[in-house]
Chains A and B, each alone.
Chain A
Amino acid sequence: MVRTEPTSAAIRTEGLTKFYGDVRGVEDLDLEVRRGELFGFLGPNGAGKSTTIRLLLDLLRPTSGRVEVLGIVPSSSVELRRSLGYLPGELSLYEDLTGAQLLEFFAALRGVTDLGYAHDLADRLGLDLGRPIRALSRGNKQKVGLVQAFFHRPDLLILDEPTSGLDPLVQHEFQSILKETVSEGRTVFLSSHVLSEIEHVTHRVGIIRSGRLVVVEQIANLKAKAIRRLDVLLARDVAPDGLADVPGVRSLDIEGRRVRLTVEGSMDGVIKALAAYEVDDLISEEPDLEEIFLAYYQEEA
């Protein structure tokens, strides 16, 4: 269908830089996403995720540096986009159309005649394609956005914050769609500002901060380095000793029955040490992105 280079990386950028006037979008970004990979692009809002994605789609042109998508420079080929599925971060749909009409429109633009998979996806996500888009909730609009990205079975999916607005049940279904896509040898590049949204599905994660790529890491390694906060409420006011010496414990603060810890990597040691006491409550917080960044910076320093 499209002459993309099957042996090339799915995405490759070299020194990719985009400035909006004096304002930095991304700077000196070197990124490589392999074929068949599920790659997470992680960073706080405003870090340059959408800028990078819009450069991949040729909606923006680089200030300097190089982009290749499926071995092709995006600005050199309209046909490349046949092999891409895109979900924008700020999704705007043709509100006057129904979901089905929107898909028919895009199918016509792509020369796709079979909408069977589109209806499958809609069913799985619990989306009624017959309703006008303007009458849909935010979550349902997001589903329309997802279906239009996937329905033509593109080689590469570029999804900007795909899970925003989806309820947990739908997120679960979406994750299985992602896994199927990758199992067919296709590639997914998705962005998020929350690690937990992507940690169960992605293979590798790139973290971007203030327009620069901080690190690209296997998700397992990343989590091993992640620092978690642990808030423990003991049944009795007994100052537990030895906790500070447990491997991975970075800080410890005991205040009566309440014990606050930060732990790097595995929780195992801490849990086993705590098992000696009667525990009323235990709260573990999601590792904060900033803390993961800090972990990396500390390592570099």
Chain B
Amino acid sequence: MSFSVATRALRDGRRALIGWSIGLAVLVGFTLAFYPSIKGNESYDDLLEDMPEALQSFVGTQGLTSPAGYLESQIFIFMLPLLFLIFEIGRGAASIAGEERVGTLDLLLANPIARGRVVVEKFGTLVASMFVLGLGFFLVLLVGVLVLDMDIGFRSLIVPTVGTILLGIFFGTLALSVGALTGRKGTASAVSALVAVVAYLLNSLAPFIGAVEPLRVVSPFYWALGESPVGDPVPLIRLILVIAVTGLVLIVGIFRFDRRDLGT
């Protein structure tokens, strides 16, 4: 059994993946390079403490100048999830809906390959490319932390990295499935982006708005990253929850895709 569809999709996306990896490495490298000039300058933390709590939640709970606080506020609380989500939602939406719109899906599915198999192989490429990008990021992060001699535990680095990777895959899968359901690439991207914004706001703001506080537990951001991704890494069970819900979204996509008419 060969994975021709996945292999082809990976090859098709390899240039973009290389570009993303280089861009991300540069961005993370620069971000880390500024740490020595921030470190020990506690006036930044004082500044932060004067801000309203709700605003503080957008930069994490660890301050700015400690290693955990710096990584959390500058990388994990916003920048990394944003980039991973853009990367994956774009790929997810293009996987099925993109091919359907261009018209190549007709020809592909004239081959003896089940529709579900196509979805699964496309999902496989989403996972693989996200892990490649995530691994690249993690290596740059590790090197930076070692070079700058930042005092931070391995678990505080690996858990939020894996969490963000899984979060990216979740939203990529959402875009894939909505695309497989509707055949519309624009709809797939828009729905996924909307869900992402709502989920992000729920996780960041819910603690300060009593009425929506209980809703926080439905946010994938809460599952994958929690309130303080680096300072208080989420327990393993929450990462497993992300994987389980991703699987569910994928199954719904496969199920519906198998039953509908394909557009030309």
Hey, which bits of chain A sit against chain B, CB under 8 A?
Answer: 20, 50, 54, 57-61, 78-82, 84, 86, 88, 90-94, 96, 105-106, 108-110, 145, 148
A109 close to B262 (CB less than 8 A): no
Q: Count residues of B near A (Cβ-Cβ below 8 Å).
A: 22
* Interface flag for B51 (CB, 8 Å): no
Alpha-carbon distance between A20 and B264 when the two chains are bound, in angstroms? 13
B264 close to A50 (CB less than 8 A): yes
B4 close to A81 (CB less than 8 A): no
Q: Which residue of B lies closest to A78 (CB)?
A: B114
Q: Is the interface of B mostly helix, strand, loop or mixed?
A: loop
Take A59-B106, A92-B106 as given contacts and tell me if A110 and B264 are in contact as well, using a CB distance cutoff of 8 Å.
no
A81 close to B111 (CB less than 8 A): yes
Q: Which of B82-123 contact A (CB under 8 A)?
A: 102-104, 106-114
A84 close to B262 (CB less than 8 A): no
Q: Is the interface of A mostly helix, strand, loop or mixed?
A: mixed
A94 close to B112 (CB less than 8 A): no
B110 close to A92 (CB less than 8 A): no
Within 8 Å CB of A60, what residues of B?
261-262
Within 8 Å CB of B259, what residues of A?
61
Hey, which bits of chain B sit against chain A, CB under 8 A?
Answer: 2, 4-5, 8, 12, 102-104, 106-114, 259-262, 264
* Residue from A59, A81, A92 in contact with B112 in the complex, judged by beta carbons closer than 8 Å: A81
Alpha-carbon distance between A145 and B114 when the two chains are bound, in angstroms? 21
Alpha-carbon distance between A144 and B103 when the two chains are bound, in angstroms? 15
Given contacts A81-B111, A106-B111, 16 further A-B contacts (CB under 8 A): A50-B264, A58-B109, A59-B110, A59-B261, A60-B261, A81-B112, A88-B106, A88-B110, A91-B107, A92-B106, A93-B107, A94-B12, A96-B12, A105-B4, A108-B4, A145-B107
A108 close to B2 (CB less than 8 A): yes
B264 close to A57 (CB less than 8 A): no
B106 close to A105 (CB less than 8 A): no
* Residue from A59, A86, A90, A110 in contact with B262 in the complex, judged by beta carbons closer than 8 Å: A59
Within 8 Å CB of A57, what residues of B?
106, 109-110
How near does chain B come to A153, taking the closest CB pair, in angstroms? Answer: 14
Take A88-B103, A90-B103, A92-B107 as given contacts and tell me if A78 and B262 are in contact as well, using a CB distance cutoff of 8 Å.
no
How near does chain A come to B261, taking the closest CB pair, in angstroms? Answer: 5
Alpha-carbon distance between A82 and B109 when the two chains are bound, in angstroms? 11
Q: Which residue of B lies closest to A97 (CB)?
A: B8
How near does chain B come to A84, taking the closest CB pair, in angstroms? Answer: 7
Alpha-carbon distance between A150 and B214 when the two chains are bound, in angstroms? 60
B110 close to A84 (CB less than 8 A): yes
How near does chain A come to B183, taking the closest CB pair, in angstroms? Answer: 12
Q: List 20 A-B contacts (CB under 8 A).
A: A54-B106, A57-B110, A59-B106, A59-B261, A59-B262, A79-B112, A81-B112, A86-B110, A88-B106, A91-B103, A92-B102, A92-B107, A93-B104, A105-B4, A105-B8, A106-B111, A109-B4, A109-B111, A145-B107, A148-B107
Pairs of residues from A and B, 6 with the lowest C-beta to C-beta distance, nearest first: A92-B103, A86-B110, A109-B111, A108-B4, A81-B112, A82-B112
Q: Which residue of B lies closest to A109 (CB)?
A: B111
A88 close to B107 (CB less than 8 A): yes
A81 close to B110 (CB less than 8 A): yes
How near does chain B come to A119, taking the closest CB pair, in angstroms? Answer: 20
Alpha-carbon distance between A59 and B114 when the two chains are bound, in angstroms? 11
Within 8 Å CB of B2, what residues of A?
108
Within 8 Å CB of B264, what residues of A?
50, 54, 88, 90
How near does chain B come to A81, taking the closest CB pair, in angstroms? Answer: 4
